[in-house]
Structure 1
């Protein structure tokens, strides 16, 4: 394999001794931390406020650049309070291989950020129950995890899939803290989990514009 191919797939940054599961997903270490506020990754180069965390709950086209230039962007993210791992999409109509690939990429970027000394909070994503076979691989036990409620209230079936994923995540990972990006939902979290919601500022901004403010 030539060097261009190795760099294209970030294989020079992959550590086969730091993986887990049958799909060799990079593993992350646990942290018990929650930031006061979150900023979208698409704004990291345009802000002077580095006292907040960075999230990747964005369209994929806005976050592909960290995969294409990980070292460049990780160097910029070092100055922020903490960083969530990229939320590369998992859709139920994707081929399973694509969903495994996106899970792998999220964990690898997270692992690289941890090695760079960044406080990293793993983002957890799933599509349907078939993705439970791999979507929790590499996640730490008894730490802080992040999830999103964006879009889960469109249909009852969407909410039920979200709920089943949260149930499975809690069973497998036993998080002590849970960051939730988006609106509050009617879900009874165990009392031993500290839960904090974070505003979806893109939606809030659109609502303000719609109200003429």
Structure 2
């Protein structure tokens, strides 16, 4: 069943086209079941690319502290200047996509959030990688639409992912990346360094927020970097 018959070019589409219903008790669910729209097609956001990956606004916020989405105490007591991060196993924050209103509440409590870091693996089919990027940007657009200050998280795999990995991010934005697990695998380290340089070339970010150990000097290339130790480095829990 088609949810929309809109033939308007992607770059001209307003968004969101439809609002998401809240819960089964919501009046919006009077005639449709709660799992009616697992793809979140009722909220389509402005885009500037052929994949329809949502376009996020330029981020200027540089958090003083990152708190894990799964840490309820930390998110409840974060205080000003903090932001929620999703550098976790994907299943721990899948709800932010599958039940976006439920995921929204914790981010609203903190007031700022990085976009979810849905994993991109180098042996994952490209169409699946595109979907992961789409979901990350969609969640960012959803959170921003509801008043949360959003900083885009950037992920990539091989050079084949570059065309869509940076889609939907304006130049000059604050962005976030994670280096967790990169340094243990020579191939992962090489791919990270190549993608990081590509990110700098394409996006010219104002600041790069790094979750984990800092990038090597060779890939910093003069762009300001703000590092936040991971839980393995004695940082957030």
TM-score (norm 2): 0.80
1:84 deviation in Å?
A: 0.2
The answer on 1:190 being equivalent to 2:218 is no
- Counterpart-to-counterpart distance in 2, 1:75 and 1:119: 13
Q: Counterpart of 2:135 in 1: which secondary structure?
A: helix
The correspondence for 2:54, drawn from 22, 26, 39, is 26
Per the alignment, residue 70 of structure 2 pairs with: 42
1:79 deviation in Å?
A: 2.1
1:50 deviation in Å?
A: 3.0
Q: Counterpart of 1:176 in 2: which secondary structure?
A: coil
- Counterpart-to-counterpart distance in 1, 2:145 and 2:124: 31
**Closer/same/farther in 2, CA of residues 6 and 23 from structure 1, 3 Å limit:** farther
4+ runs deviating over 6 angstroms: none
**Closer/same/farther in 2, CA of residues 36 and 130 from structure 1, 3 Å limit:** same
Per the alignment, residue 100 of structure 1 pairs with: 130
Per the alignment, residue 144 of structure 1 pairs with: 174
1:90 deviation in Å?
A: 0.3
The answer on 1:13 being equivalent to 2:43 is yes
The answer on 1:160 being equivalent to 2:190 is yes
- Counterpart-to-counterpart distance in 1, 2:105 and 2:89: 22
TM-score (norm 1): 0.88
- Counterpart-to-counterpart distance in 1, 2:208 and 2:75: 26
Per the alignment, residue 177 of structure 1 pairs with: 207
**Closer/same/farther in 2, CA of residues 46 and 196 from structure 1, 3 Å limit:** closer
Q: Higher mean Cα deviation, 148-157 or 161-170?
A: 148-157
User: CA RMSD for the aligned pairs?
Assistant: 2.0
Q: Counterpart of 2:137 in 1: which secondary structure?
A: helix
Instruction: Give the length in aligned residue pairs.
Output: 203
Q: Counterpart of 1:172 in 2: which secondary structure?
A: helix
**Closer/same/farther in 2, CA of residues 180 and 70 from structure 1, 3 Å limit:** same
- Counterpart-to-counterpart distance in 2, 1:92 and 1:41: 25
Post-superposition Cα deviations, 1:137-159, rounded to whole Å, max 9, x if no partner, equal 10121010000111111122211
Contact map agreement 1:60 1:88 (CA 8 A) in 2: yes
1:45 deviation in Å?
A: 6.5
